[in-house]
Amino acid sequence: MKTPVIVISGFLGSGKTTLLLKLIQEVHRRGIKPAILMNELGRQDVDGHILSQATDGLIMEKLLDGCICCSKKSEISNAITTLLSQSPDVILIELTGVANPEEVVDEMAEPGLLNEVFLQRIITVIDAENVLEYNSIFSSDKQLVHTLRRQIEVADIVIVNKRDLINDSHLSKVVKLVEKHNDKARIFTTIQTQVDFIPLLDGLQPLNLPAKKSSPFNMLSRHSHHNDGHKQNHTSFSRIQTVYIPLQQNMPLSLRRIEKFLKSWGNQILRAKGYVSVNSSSEILLIQFAGKQIQWEPSSYKGPQYIVIIGFNLDSVTLMEAWG
């Protein structure tokens, strides 16, 4: 029996990991056994730690320091095969923010996986606050603009997240943008990716139950590659850089300093995350920065403190010097 795969895509900071965590909790509640494939651009596994902290005994493989659609593509098959050895009921794949879901679908159609897995659906999460600005911000990187558009075009479900940060007029424009590129996807507007799980998990069940037949809408053929140029070299993604900033241990930083630093780079810093001790406290907090928003959350993390910054046209040397 083939194992269903759900792919979660969306640009940096849209809310993919938040959604994934909720999906994991929901499938556990239903008695469904998930396996997770995580992909991060940087070497530090921030999101993987978040998931492990929230869920005990999670079956997970991680592809770090590269995009699953290019430098890490050759590792997809081995990672999925490793997950399958644990007999999961479903595989949930979270892509990096600059990944085209089609590339993962292509890999699933290779002989080694074709008879082992099938694509259940692609879910794309959109940052409603910032998505309308992407074309202008990334105008110098046509390949990135193309990839972000394809994330919408190939989705079965589009989650327009961060509804609470925009007004009704802005929301209407975002929905029209989605419908322009994909008039077949189901669209949900959410706050913190709080969504009805029924359409997202429809068709999933423990493997000891009879499997439902997949509809043609969710078959690999629907998401087949159309040779539209994505298999070019990913030279444009050299403009997306990941910078790792190690922090001195036992030296809490000023929360205000960190927030001021991240916001001072404007649109160049797309995403930042890490574990930091702030304001003379021994407690280590998880920092999440995306778009114009910064969140601080309690964490059980005990390792070395750091911040990972992902930016567009960002000079890593200049950034490190500015950090001081």
Specify burial of residue 232 (Cβ count, 10 A radius: 0-12, 13-18, 19+).
Answer: exposed
Q: Which residues pair with 193 in a beta bridge?
A: none
- Report d(CA 324, CA 170) in Å as an integer: 38
Whether CATH 3.40.190.290 fits 240-323: no
Instruction: Say which amino acid occupies 55.
Output: T
The DSSP 8-state label assigned to residue 295 in this structure reads E
Q: Looking at residue 127, what is its pLDDT?
A: 97
Segments of the chain scoring below 70 in pLDDT = 42-44, 54, 65-74, 207-238
The C-alpha atoms of residue 37 and residue 76 are separated, in whole angstroms, by 9
Inter-residue contact 297 to 288 (CB < 8 Å): yes
User: What is the pLDDT, as a whole number, of residue 217?
Assistant: 35
Confidence at residue 93, expressed as pLDDT on a 0 to 100 scale = 96
| Domain residue extents for the chain | 3-232, 240-323
pLDDT at 240: 84
CATH architecture of 3-232: 3-Layer(aba) Sandwich (3.40)
> Would you tell me the crossing angle of helices 142-153 and 168-181 to the nearest 10 degrees?
90
CA–CA distance, 293 with 249 (Å, rounded to integer): 26
State the pLDDT at residue 239. Answer: 79
Q: Evaluate whether 310 touches 272 at the Cβ level (below 8 Å).
A: yes
* Token pair recorded at residue 277: 């001790």
- The per-residue pLDDT for 121 is 97
Among 134, 47, 33, CA closest to 94: 47
Nearest to 151 by CA among 130, 133, 126, 170: 126
What pLDDT does 220 receive? 46
pTM of the model: 0.86
The alpha carbon dihedral of 201, 204, 205, 206 has a sign of: negative
